[in-house]
Amino acid sequence: MLQLFIPLGFLGIVYRQIKYALADMDLVFKLLAQVPEISDTPTAPALQLTHSSVRFEHVHFYYQPERVILHDLSFTIADGERVAVVGHSGAGKSTLARLLFRFYDVNGGQILIDNQDIRSVTQHSLRAAIGIVPQDTVLFNDSIFYNIAYGRPAASRAEIEHAAELAHIREFIESLPQHWNTVVGERGLKLSGGEKQRVAIARAILKQPRILVFDEATSSLDSKTEQAIAQTLNEIAAHHSTLTIAHRLSTIIDADQIIVMEQGRMIEHGTHRTLLDAGGCYAAMWELQQREHEQTSLPA
Ligand code: ATP
């Protein structure tokens, strides 16, 4: 078992880094037997999913009391809806995902999934319902097959291959000399940022969660790869309720709802079109990113 070979001190460091960065939270929870700060009540029932709707209701949150990170934040992701959150660095976007996954409990308000407060249900059932495509994917020093299968170890070979296909990484894998047996990770083949994200997407597909969280990479992907990844995510998002933490507005123009955050508050929300028409903060961010894009695509 993997657990037996990873020193606990190392796990502690990884846990802290991952907790901060919203990397492979799912994986870390499985590696660690428990998270000290969060516990189930002894009689907590499993989460009952009916529509997979998510509601943040007057959420108030701080990591340290002297610095409030989220102020009275409310929004709903209806069943099957795609909601994107944008805002400057440090606005509190990734914190939303950490709270949804119950890395931390809210200090005020509540987070509901299908009308159940996530603090009242078992962590196991909560996390089973949520798939995460993190910014930075943790790869095991093992075959690429194992790395994808990790999303649901009981999955069949055909399901794993299908997940890789939906994530648009199957062709790449089968072009490698060792195919599915290719060892990846620190001591194996180094995958590019885009390839790693595709492994994460395949894992998430395999897990078959009802709710998906995409934490868009901040910088590691070139814009062509980024658009291709966004396209893949759009394809799989069609079947889930999704929360996308976006850094590039061009990847979320089709979202059902866009939430613009600033210093832990929702300052605007709407669709790409209505937000552009409103001519506020989102419209200014859009114009800036368009200008930057034009400049970087000019011939030297
Ligand atoms: P980015 O776009 O740069 O990823 P973000 O909007 O996702 O930023 P968050 O990661 O949610 O921002 O962080 C919001 C604020 O909370 C930041 O000021 C950050 O420094 C702070 N913060 C995040 N994690 C912790 C933590 N574990 N302890 C203390 N403060 C934290």
Across-strand partners of 245? Answer: 85, 215
Q: pLDDT higher for 19 or 54?
A: 54
Q: Which of 262, 279, 213 is nearest to 77 (CA)?
A: 213
Q: Which atom of ligand 1 is nearest to the CA of 135?
A: 4
R_g of the chain, CA atoms, integer Å: 19
Q: What is the pLDDT of residue 297?
A: 62
For the Cβ of 63 lying below 6 angstroms from any atom of ligand 1, the answer is: yes
The protein residue whose alpha carbon is closest to atom 31 in ligand 1 is: 63
Tell whether the model's pLDDT for residue 190 goes beyond 80. yes
Mean pLDDT of 16-34: 52
Task: Tell me the CA–centroid distance for residue 298 and ligand 1, in Å.
Answer: 34
Cα(276) to centroid(ligand 1), Å = 27
- Cα-to-centroid distance, 68 and ligand 1 (Å): 11
pLDDT score for 243: 95
Atom of ligand 1 at shortest distance to CA of 22? 10
Interface confidence (ipTM) of the complex: 0.98
Banded model confidence at residue 270, pLDDT cuts 50, 70, 90: very high
Which residue, by CA, sits nearest to atom 22 of ligand 1? Answer: 63
Report CA(289)–ligand 1 centroid distance (Å): 22
Q: Residue 164 in contact with residue 232, Cβ under 8 Å? A: no
How does pLDDT run across 199-227, given as a tens digit for each residue?
999 998 898 889 999 888 766 567 777 77
Q: Which residue has the tokens 């901060």?
A: 20
Range from 153-167, 174-188, 241-255, 283-297 carrying the lowest mean pLDDT: 283-297
Lowest mean per-residue pLDDT among 136-140, 183-187, 233-237 = 233-237
CA separation (Å) from 144 to 139, 178, 191, 196?
9, 10, 10, 10
What confidence tier does 2 reach under pLDDT thresholds 50, 70, 90?
A: very low
